Structure 1
Amino acid sequence: MNRSNLALSAVVAVIGMAPVAMAGEPQPWAFSFQPGASPTMERITSLASFINVVIVAITLLVSGLLLYACTRFRADRNPKPATWSHNTPLEVVWTAIPAVILLLIAIPSFRLLYFMDRVQDAEMTLKIVGHQWYWTYEYPDHDFKFDSNMVQAEDLKPGQPRLLTADNTLVVPAGVPIRLQMTADDVIHSWSVPAFGIKTDAVPGRLNETWVQVKEPGTYYGQCSQLCGVNHGFMPVHVKAVPKEEFLAWVAQAKKTFAHLDGTRPETTVALAETAGGNRP
């Protein structure tokens, strides 16, 4: 391992030892959303809770009315059936009330869709490219990129979740709006991190865009969510959010380790390779 790799490993180790506030990963027997780690996910959770309240209220109301009708108008209590068939005021009411309910749901839904779609004054850009079956992360503002593959079960360290741990973690600064651009070079993939409220397709020949602002430092996990071939279930998304100062330190080391956006090796790696080659007998 060369000096650049050692330095990058040391930075990642320090980042890993830093106290984290959140860990976005699936939990056994969970039946709700993961804790929201972004403004988008917080709004999704809030809207879902509101809609659930509306659903429960409608269910209770309809069940109560159905029970009342079955009890009040059963055959033994009404031997002579009623002859009326219409009630215009009642029909207006049961048409207007659902319309109002749908409107109350639609307004916050459209506001959330607009909030999710509009990039919030991004301070940096991250390009994500899906492949069969791994991700490439490009940092256009810093001119480097790297591939991220799943760590095999036999190589996992204690505490690392199976099928969710990647060899090269996507590192982002916490509290910073980030523009996410996604595409693919073979088939359709989908970059999904539940704690961020993001599930965006990566389509060959097309650039889809969304954004994220991770609220707290921590480790977050996701997976490819679009069937993309035999190893679809082995494309984890492994994200580590760190304070901005630690992110800048990581970037400084990453520039010396990972390839430039044009595919050329960093100068430090080239110099080390040439030195090693020159020392050979």
Structure 2
Amino acid sequence: MPQPITEQAEKIENLWVFTLIIALAVFFAVEGALIYAIIRFRKKSDELPPQTHGSTALEIVWTTIPVLIVIALFSYSFITLREVEKKAPEDALAIDVTGFQFSWEFVYNLNELGPGSDPNAEGSFSIIGTAAQEPTFVIPVGEPVEFRLKSNDVIHAFYIPSFLYKLDVVPGRDNRFVITAKETGEFTGQCAELCGLNHALMRFHVRVVEREEFDRWVAEQVQANASVRQP
């Protein structure tokens, strides 16, 4: 299990642990009852043991327990899903992610760079991966970031293991999700949907940094893009 680095990933991990605990409890209860029955009621002679036909109390118990388990799993899963799939706040940093055979493009709009950004700012810059160069994009720590996913060709899947979250990138469909990173560092992502012969090349990296470093990086990217456009 990858170490979760976002608030949403921690909620997903807690749900996974809760489900695992219930699964282990059921497993040991069933296997324990089975082993007890094998030992306690093993055949000792040809004499037919006392026969019991039906037990209302027992049937109520083995019907009620699974119902309660299903209700608990459904309720916790529903609560976690609502938390993980909350809409992004209006001042969240937004990144337009495009998957294509066989890499990724990350576009930052200058009027959607998170809290404090100028809503009237114009322009954008992009990070585009190639077969020879895996793309690396940057996000600030402790701030909500919305990923808006689209595809130019076939179905891809945007997956960063440390997010504990994967979302398909579907042509003609706008999929999006929000995360808030809790620690800095560099993490690897990939396409998790078999999308063609060079599917394995669709790796990328995300750097989580402090807001000051993120602002410097944005300024560098804007300057670099401006210099490229100059005749």
Per the normalisation by structure 2, the TM-score is 0.88
**Cα distance in structure 1, aligned partners of 2:35 and 2:128:** 60
Task: Say which of 13, 16, 36 aligns to 1:48.
Answer: 16
Conserved in 2, the CA contact under 8 Å of 1:172 and 1:239? yes
Q: Structure 1 regions of 5+ residues with no counterpart?
A: 1-32, 153-165, 259-265, 275-281
Q: Structure 2 regions of 5+ residues with no counterpart?
A: 113-122
**Cα distance in structure 2, aligned partners of 1:136 and 1:120:** 21
**Cα distance in structure 1, aligned partners of 2:130 and 2:46:** 71
Runs of 4+ in 1 over 4 A off after TM superposition: none
Q: Higher strand fraction: Structure 1 or Structure 2?
A: 2
Does 2:154 correspond to 1:173?
no
Q: Number of aligned pairs?
A: 218
**Cα distance in structure 2, aligned partners of 1:54 and 1:234:** 38
Q: CA deviation at 1:269?
A: 2.7
**Cα distance in structure 1, aligned partners of 2:152 and 2:104:** 10
Conserved in 2, the CA contact under 8 Å of 1:150 and 1:236? no
**Cα distance in structure 2, aligned partners of 1:101 and 1:270:** 60
Q: In structure 1, what residue type is equivalent to 2:62?
A: W
**Cα distance in structure 2, aligned partners of 1:245 and 1:116:** 27
**Cα distance in structure 2, aligned partners of 1:243 and 1:149:** 27
Conserved in 2, the CA contact under 8 Å of 1:192 and 1:237? no
Q: CA deviation at 1:85?
A: 2.4
Does 2:149 correspond to 1:149?
no
Q: CA deviation at 1:270?
A: 3.4
Provide Cα deviations, 1:82-107, integer angstroms capped at 9, x if missing partner.
33321111011100011111212221
Provide Cα deviations, 1:162-206, integer angstroms capped at 9, x if missing partner.
xxxx2x311111111011110100000001001012211111111
Task: Say which of 92, 104, 123 aligns to 1:135.
Answer: 104
SS at match of 2:204: strand
Per the normalisation by structure 1, the TM-score is 0.73
- Could you say which residue in structure 2 is the equivalent of 1:198? 165
SS at match of 1:80: coil
**Cα distance in structure 2, aligned partners of 1:150 and 1:177:** 30
SS at match of 1:108: helix
Q: 1:149 to 1:270 in 2, by over 3 A?
A: closer
Conserved in 2, the CA contact under 8 Å of 1:191 and 1:237? no
- Could you say which residue in structure 2 is the equivalent of 1:270? 229
**Cα distance in structure 2, aligned partners of 1:107 and 1:126:** 32
Does 2:94 correspond to 1:125?
yes
**Cα distance in structure 1, aligned partners of 2:199 and 2:87:** 29
- Could you say which residue in structure 1 is the equivalent of 2:116? none
Q: 1:218 to 1:80 in 2, by over 3 A?
A: same
- Could you say which residue in structure 1 is the equivalent of 2:119? none
- Could you say which residue in structure 2 is the equivalent of 1:218? 185
Q: 1:1-281, aligned counterparts within 5 Å?
A: 33-76=1-44, 79-121=47-89, 123-140=92-109, 141=112, 143-149=124-130, 151=132, 166=134, 168-258=135-225, 266=226, 268-271=227-230, 274=231
- Could you say which residue in structure 2 is the equivalent of 1:261? none
SS at match of 1:127: strand
Q: CA deviation at 1:146?
A: 2.5
**Cα distance in structure 2, aligned partners of 1:83 and 1:251:** 78
State which drifts further: 134-143 or 176-185.
Answer: 134-143
